[in-house]
Amino acid sequence: MQHQTTIDPVNLEFTPEVERATRAIFERVRHVMPDVEWPIHAPVIAAINELKRVRNATILAHNYQTPEVFYGVGDITGDSLALAQEGARLDTDVIVMCGVRFMAETAKILSPEKTVLLPDMDAGCSLAASITGADVRRLKEQYPGVPVVTYVNAYADVRAEADICCTSSNAVKIVESLKTDRVIFIPDGYLGRYVAKQTDVEVILWEGACEVHERFTAEELRGYRRDYPGIHIMAHPECPPDVLSEADFVGSTSGLIRHIADERPKQVVMVTECSMSDNVAVEFPDVDFIRPCNLCPHMKRITLPKILRSLQTLSPQIEIDPDTAERARRSLERMLAV
């Protein structure tokens, strides 16, 4: 299918037609969004949803996106690898990744024939930026024969050098599947320590960290318990060990959501990126969410106007060297085969 290079400008006024077209979305998010904001977001949401049809495009929205993106324009929502996998299954010409660059790279690796857009190329990741492919090669020279397990939160050149990928939910399973005494675990040092506590395998760490999760402290969590007696504390394993030790439940992004669905705690604090609490609160209005507000500055680079502009211009596009993409794909496929 051939696309126009650009699309004519659209009217972004909050007209009665726009109000009607977006009313159902607003009703869904209104308890996590001030009413005054909706006339600003609604015209852009309506324009994006119309342009998706013109472009035969699918928007993938990560859990850390703000509600107007997540619920307003996201066709598939969730965590990073699941988004890319679902995008690969769809008969769509264009994928817009509302996340960060390593996520867009995953989408391109799994859908090389599709146009993959990232609305802001500066949407990076402190964790992914902590290591390069050259760093991995040096580690392999330092520890010859030791397999390298990389968290999927890494750039394509790193995944291309690794033996196998993992997610935060399957990391222990992947490490133990290798049937070896030692593994190199990159790039998240905190997740690596969490894995090491649950296996007899020696885990050689790389000291990368997520700038959102590493800012949480155990004292902060103890403060929640003092201020909100009976609160249920849930933490992502990218957090420091003392934070995890204070939590009632530790789990991946999808694991946190499943835990709330199963347990239905009356009051909860999710020790992860702030917008995820807003998005999950929409699904569980009976649960009182106390929101720690550590925002990811990279995720917040993705905005409705940038998404609209990206669809209008079909840019910026993600491109990966074919050899790098193929080797990175193999490390993902090894994980999926476990």
Question: 171 and 80 in one domain?
Answer: no
Find out whether 82 and 302 touch, Cβ atoms under 8 Å. Answer: no
| CB distance 288 to 268 below 8 Å | yes
Per-residue pLDDT at 221 exceeds 70:
yes
Same domain, 25 and 117: yes
Q: Are residues 46 and 111 in the same domain?
A: yes
Measured between alpha carbons, how far is 256 from 278 in angstroms, rounded to an integer? 14
User: Per the domain annotation, does 303 fall within a domain?
Assistant: yes
Is the pLDDT confidence value at 320 over 70? yes
Asked if residue 319 belongs to a domain, the reply is no
For residues 144 and 175, membership in a common domain is answered with yes
8 A C-beta contact, residue 260 and residue 284: yes
- Phi and psi at 232, nearest 5°, equal -100, 120
Is residue 5, in this structure, part of any structural domain at all? no
The Cα–Cα gap between 280 and 265 comes to 13
Asked, for residue 332, whether it belongs to a domain, the answer is no
Task: Read off the pTM.
Answer: 0.93
Residues 120 and 132 grouped into a single domain: no
**What CATH code is carried by the domain that includes residue 151?**
3.40.50.10800
Q: Which domain holds residue 90?
A: 16-124+299-313
Q: Among 194, 210, 226, give the residue marking a domain's end.
A: 210
Is the domain of 155 the same as that of 110?
no
What's the number of CA atoms in the CB half-sphere (13 Å) around residue 185? 30
Work out how many domains the chain is built from and give that number. Answer: 3
* 261 located within any domain: yes
CB distance 193 to 151 below 8 Å: no
Residue 152 within any structural domain of the chain: yes
Same domain, 95 and 22: yes
Sorting pLDDT into bands at 50, 70 and 90, what band is 164?
very high
- Are 226 and 182 found together in one domain? no
Residue 93 and residue 108 in one domain: yes
Q: Is residue 284 part of a domain?
A: yes
- Are 205 and 237 contained in the same domain? no
Apex CA 126: angle with CA 234 and CA 303, to 5°?
80
Rounded CA separation 53/55 (Å): 5
**Are residues 54 and 111 both part of a single domain?**
yes
Distance of CA 97 to the CA centre of its chain: 10
pLDDT averaged over every residue in the chain:
94
Report the pLDDT value the prediction gives residue 8, as an integer from 0 to 100: 64
Q: What pLDDT score does 5 carry? A: 52
Whether 236 and 189 map to the same domain: the answer is no
Query: Is 46 among the domain residues?
Result: yes
Q: What is the pLDDT at residue 153? A: 96
Provide the token pair at 171.
């990391």
Position 1 pLDDT exceeds 90? no
Q: Give mean pLDDT, residues 95-114.
A: 96
